[in-house]
Amino acid sequence: MRAVNQLGYGDPHKVLRLDEVERPTPTDGQVLVRVVAASINAIDWRTVYAQPILVRLLGGLRRPGDSRQMGHDLAGVVEAVGPGRTDLAPGDEVYGNCSGGLAEYVVGQDFVRKPANLTFEQAAAVPVAGRTALQAVQKHGQVEPGQRVVVIGAGGGVGTFAVQIAAALGADVTAVTSSGTVRGIRRRSRWRDLAGFMRRYVKLVSSAAKGAVLE
């Protein structure tokens, strides 16, 4: 099968290569997924460009310690299941994340059935950012109907999900974003414009004390 490997840090045209590699086999609790769509997010480009420097400290100072298969978020079809995995079966359409998502086949545990109303491309854009936003809003923010929620960076990957999740939970959402993403955010929440936000930041956070501030 084919997979994208990272051979160094820097310009993707120079450090990424499409290689032929052995197709993986699922082990306990894993599934083998034929990848239909995959997405790129911040964790991928930070790994390629080694930003921040912590990437080099963990993965290798001058180059990755081993050829590293790229990608995390994906959607596809289950081809096989490993021992002990009972919630999925061959033929199921799934989405999730695992290391090496930019490949024809992957194995991993973090996969669930894809909602029927999502395309493979849409589903592949969800896992990392969507899960992060869900944890922030529900688990840590414990957002409830009627609460005021301020999402700082609402135009980013996690922010766009956080705005929609908080609004779906019945919160009064205040979205802080750059002018270039205002139109999209307006479609996703009950919009409150924060012109001159930086001048009123302290006041804003104070007024939201009974709600949640996600940054």
For the chain, 215 residues long, give each residue's pLDDT as a single digit of tens: 999 999 999 999 999 999 999 999 999 999 999 999 999 988 888 888 888 887 777 777 777 776 588 999 999 999 999 999 999 999 999 999 998 999 999 999 999 999 999 999 999 999 999 999 999 998 888 999 999 888 888 888 898 899 889 988 999 888 887 766 666 666 655 544 444 443 333 334 444 444 565 65
Architecture in CATH for domain 128-214: 3-Layer(aba) Sandwich (3.40)
E strands along 153-206, which residues? 172-176
CATH number of 2-124: 3.90.180.10
Whether the CB-CB separation of 198 and 178 falls below 8 Å is answered with no
In this prediction, residue 21 carries a pLDDT of: 93
The Cα 202–Cα 142 span in angstroms is 22
Residue that the structure tokens 């290798």 belong to: 60
Q: How far apart are the first and last CA of the chain?
A: 40
Diameter over CA atoms, the chain: 57
Structure-derived torsion over alpha carbons of residues 70, 131, 39, 163, reported in degrees to the nearest 10: -140
Whether the CB-CB separation of 194 and 186 falls below 8 Å is answered with no
Domain ranges of the chain: 2-124, 128-214
94's enclosing H/E stretch is strand 93-97
Alpha carbon distances (Å) from 89 to 76, 77, 130: 13, 9, 24
2-124 and 128-214 agree in CATH topology: no
In this prediction, residue 179 carries a pLDDT of: 66
